[in-house]
Chain A
Amino acid sequence: MSELRRKTNPERRAEWWTTLPSAGWLLIFFAIPTLLIVVMSFKPAGPYGGFGEGWSLKAWVDMGNPSYPTVLWRTIRLSLAATLICIALGLPVGFLLGRSDAKTRSILLLLVVVPFWTNFLIRVYAWKVLLHPSGFFRETLVSFGVIGENTLLLYNEWAVLLVMVYAYVPFAILPIYASAEKFDFALLDAARDLGASSIRAFWLVFVPGVSRGVMAAVVMVLIPALGSYIIPELVGGPTGEMIGNKIAQRVFIDRNWPHAAALATVLMIVTLLPVLFAFAQEKRESIAVGKKGGDASS
């Protein structure tokens, strides 16, 4: 087992040098700024913005603000809902992409990616126009009697959820597609052959088959969703506010940086939980496989 032998010193040194650039990059642009945010949250606020002298726990005590649990819960709830819907949409689309021939596939992929050619802010603004009380969507729905005269589409949680799904669904489709492309579609034939309906075959064989893609999609949708700021800012109104908006308000309106830093830390902890969970899951799987290895003989 040559892979398992101890690495020699020159090998170690080579590894160290090749890892250095990316490690350095992460350290300078990720680890240190993150640490700074955490440190800032333990400073007192300066009277005109910035920081005061010494250390203070005031920002953390202020986390007890009665409006925060509501906003935090809404952030988590909306992000989870958006993730779930994005996955639900991403699975059939990924399936379709994986199954189609090269030409159809490239057209469909283009359709998925095309929105990225327009600025994100402009696309969210476009939704604001569509959902506006005198906008196209509401007018049409009202004229068909689908919604009442007094129903507003804009400035509520639903508007935030809708636009989040719109904005993040490509991030669910692409990793699921990447898995589906490697998926052996003969497995679905096998499932049908063994008596599974097409829907059962999809759930029992396709979904487990692209589980890695789904995990990646969860991480890629949930994390930006939790940190959403522009979407609730533009279409959420006061009842659609998320943590991101609160952080922005503390920075731009109150000029209370330590408070904003504490909020950002809270958000970071909430964000890290699913990632840590995903890593733990991965590790458990690889250990299970490792244990069973080495007896594929005969």
Chain B
Amino acid sequence: MSEFLVFDGVTKRFGDFVAVREASFAIEKGEIFALLGPSGCGKTTLLRMLAGFIEPDEGRILIEGEDITKLPPERRPVNTVFQSYALFPHLTIRDNIGFGLKMAKRPKSEIDSEVDRMLDLVDLTEHGDKKPDRISGGQKQRVAIARALVNKPRVLLLDEPLAALDLKLRQRLLVELDDIHDEVGITFLYVTHDQTEAMAISDRIAVMQRGTLEQIGTPAEIYEAPVNSFVAAFIGDTNFLRGKVVTATDEEYSQAEIEGVGEIRLFNDRPLKPGEEIALSLRPEKIRIESHAPPTDPGLNAIEGIVEDVIYLGSMTRYWVRVGDQRIAAERQHSRYLLDEKLPSWKDRVWLSWRADDGCVLSDFAVEDTELLSIPPDEEG
């Protein structure tokens, strides 16, 4: 791994509040790296420490081996796309984009041609002479990106760049942003609280909670193999099944007794011992929901339950099924909705089945993370 940008034991406190706790990680050159987490998790503090607006209490930040921890913002080889864009209202779009080059005292002819190139890149050539208040939100966002990129930063920092836009525009700009990244090849550090955005654009994601980095990995790693209940619940939706290991069947699989559900087979994501308490994360789309019992298969877990809730979502239907004292969410895709056999509905007796490999045994479970799920388990049981 080429260690392009390194956070080395970075800690920041605001009074008694620890905003970032001993963050150590490296970002590779040219990748889109997302810091993802709920508000107040410390992701913006990390970004602002990299930009130079906040000085860490402990630790160092290095870019290509050079320690930039103490440099003021204006002397760092990074530029930021701010959340609210922060375009200078008294300057035209051209002058906004050219601001950084002007500060660097580059000759006017060079500034002009660079600004032209940037206007072309973000497709705003005909708006160059307008003031920021005369263009739309999406256009402002592109100006903010152009204004940062024109300085050829070694890292482009994006602080919730799409948060102020509506959904459709957000999806379109996300693709545009990805195209721009391909074109300029600059390393992006992307801060967001929106997991869809992070999954869509990033090469790797760092999931943060309460100042701590919980997990770093590719979107698929984080989604398919979350290390703990927070990551599992924050990224996408999931079911938590808690129980006790009964037998460690072999190298690969174990049997576990799940409270109120029965015995299931699970994949050893980590070595398991008989008697050990475990929590399994099981994504709703991994679960098949059928009216009849599936054919017996040692690799398949099958349990019976009663449908309690049905939500039709267009591309799929989501079910909540009562199994013992558990409510399990399952999804069914509708590739052929009108031709499908009759779908299970409310109060129907159904079978849920999933492959033992599709669950993920978590290393760490916290009960409060169940509150992040789309529908919490009901209290009566």
* Interface set of A (CB-CB < 8 Å, partner B): 184, 186-187, 189-198, 200, 205, 208-209, 211, 292-293, 295-298
**A190 CB contacts on chain B under 8 angstroms:** 80, 82, 86-88
Q: Does any Cβ of A come within 8 Å of B135's Cβ?
A: yes
Q: Is there contact, CB below 8 Å, between A196 and B103?
A: yes
Known pairs A296-B135, A296-B136; A193 contacts B90 (CB<8 A)? no
Interface pair A293/B100, CB less than 8 Å apart: no
Between A and B, 19 residue pairs with Cβ closer than 8 Å are: A187-B88, A187-B89, A189-B51, A189-B80, A190-B86, A190-B87, A192-B74, A193-B73, A193-B74, A193-B82, A195-B100, A195-B151, A200-B103, A209-B89, A292-B134, A293-B134, A295-B134, A296-B135, A297-B136
Given A296-B136, A298-B136, A193 and B51 contact (CB-CB distance below 8 Å): yes
- What 8 A-B pairs have minimum CB-CB distances, sorted nearest first? A195-B103, A194-B100, A190-B86, A192-B73, A208-B90, A186-B86, A193-B80, A195-B74
Q: In angstroms, how far is the closest chain B Cβ from the Cβ of A294?
A: 9
Residues in A whose Cβ lies below 8 Å from that of B89: 187, 209
Q: Say yes or no: is B367 at the interface (Cβ < 8 Å to chain A).
A: no
In the complex, residue of chain A having the shortest beta-carbon distance to the beta carbon of B99: A194
With CB as the reference atom, state the residue of chain A lying closest to B73.
Answer: A192
Of the candidates A186, A198, A209, the one whose C-beta lies within 8 Å of that of B90 is A209
Q: Does B53 lie within 8 Å of A189, measured CB to CB?
A: yes
**A205, B134: Cβ atoms closer than 8 Å:** no
A194, A196, A293, A298 pick with most chain B CB within 10 angstroms: A194
**B130 interface contact, C-beta 8 A:** yes
| Interface residue B139 (Cβ < 8 Å from any Cβ of A) | yes
- Contacts known (A189-B82, A193-B80, A194-B103); A296 close to B134, Cβ less than 8 A: yes
Contact of A189 among B86, B87, B104, B131 (CB under 8 A): B86
Nearest Cβ on chain B to A214's Cβ, whole angstroms: 13
B interface with A by C-beta (< 8 Å) = 51-53, 72-75, 78-80, 82-84, 86-90, 99-100, 103-104, 130-131, 133-136, 138-139, 147-148, 151
Q: Which residues of A contact B87 (CB under 8 A)?
A: 190
Please report the C-alpha to C-alpha distance between residue A209 and residue B91 in the assembled complex, in whole angstroms: 10
CB neighbours of A297 from chain B (8 A): 136
Q: Which residues of A contact B72 (CB under 8 A)?
A: 192, 197-198
CA gap between A193 and B157 in the complex, in Å: 10
A211 to B88, alpha carbons, bound, how many Å?
13
Nearest chain-B residue to A208 (Cβ)?
A: B90
A292 to B130 CA separation, bound complex (whole angstroms): 8
| Contact of A205 with B79 in the complex, beta carbons under 8 Å | no
Q: Besides A189-B80, A191-B99, A292-B130, 5 other CB < 8 A contacts?
A: A191-B88, A194-B147, A209-B90, A298-B138, A298-B139
CB pair A195 B104 closer than 8 Å: yes
Smallest CB separation, A204 vs chain B (Å): 8
Q: Are A187 and B138 in contact (CB under 8 A)?
A: no
Say yes or no: B74 contacts A197, CB within 8 Å.
Answer: yes
Note all chain A residues with C-beta closer than 8 A to B134. Answer: 292-293, 295-296
Contact in complex: B53, A194 (CB < 8 Å):
no
**Beta-carbon contact of A184 and B84 below 8 Å:** yes
